[in-house]
Structure 1
Amino acid sequence: MAKLFFRYAAMNAGKSTALLQVAHNYEERGHSVRLFTARVDDRYGGGHITSRLGPQREAELFGPETDFLALNAARPGVACLLIDEAQFLNKAQVWALHELAHINNLPVICYGLRTDFQGELFPGSASLLALADEMDEMKTICDCGRKATMNMRVDANNRKVTVGDQVEIGGNARYRAVCGRCFRQL
């Protein structure tokens, strides 16, 4: 039986790299996969999943209106759905992905952040934490050497930002992966 997976981590843990590796493994064995990434994340241009290490590949975009059940019905024969930036899914989409896994027997593997820069769950992450059959925390490290579990937003002077919109797209210039201690002290 297929499952809904949630692989989460702080920023810079290699989530996109791992997703691209899974896609490669499926395709190397002759299986078709579908890759999705959030339309809102335009750091590398729309329609691409890009690893900080360099590998990149085209992906379909999802937004709040995306109907994964209809998309799956329109393109049978897919062996796995791979979703990057899964924190930007909405609750209804996570329920649809759960249905695809359990009713359509289609493995769905979601990669994303668990929490935002204020330590709050993203809506997609909250739903995935509730519904995923398997969850894996991918690891990365803080500057101090401890395991990084938080995402800290910083300003142009590298000072911690504590207020603002939940979603502000940015990479290493705007965010740092930090441990809980550094998140509290900085």
Structure 2
Amino acid sequence: MKKLLFAALITVSSFVSAQGIDFGVKGGVVFNSSQGLWEGLGTVKDGKGSTGFQVGAVLRARLAGLYIQPELLYTQTTNEYDNYKVKSKSMDIPVGIGKRFLGIAHVQVGPTFSYYFDDKLNVGEFANATQDQFGVSFHVGAGVQISKLLFDLRYQRGFSKLSSEFVKGTSNFQTENRPQHINLSVTYLF
């Protein structure tokens, strides 16, 4: 049985490398340019985004002159509303379809599926009562590959607005924004 499993592993490994599939790790800076809206206690405030980060794993499969690049990324961003900050955490799955050219350059476009699992307000004693958990965005980007390093610049924008509600006693605050990011990242391919 062990010999059979070992033979299957070698067969799958050689097929994967023959098909041009690369794995990698990715990290980068997220420039959150979402202009959100804060509503509560009879006030409405415009927000602004600030810098965040993302880390995760990348798979790149080459076929027929194109490549497909699904990723699994942990992303953390912040929106600011005067003295309040709302920090959002999500798991993002961008699926890019791209094309390489000039030997080192590439362009990419595709959807990004996001699961938002934690919004926190920087003011104590407020609880996150509800929040939108799923969102879909599109992304477009370009970059260069130098040896095993990919350097990417990507623009991402949500198709719809996301909201979170925070409560403290009888006070109720709600935020709403359409995700809009510029991502600058580096990926190391194994």
Same fold (TM over 0.5): no
User: As a proportion of its length, which structure holds more helix?
Assistant: 1
Q: TM-score, normalised by structure 1?
A: 0.21
Q: Whose relative contact order is higher, 1 or 2, with alpha carbons under 8 Å and at least 6 apart?
A: 1
TM-score (norm 2): 0.21
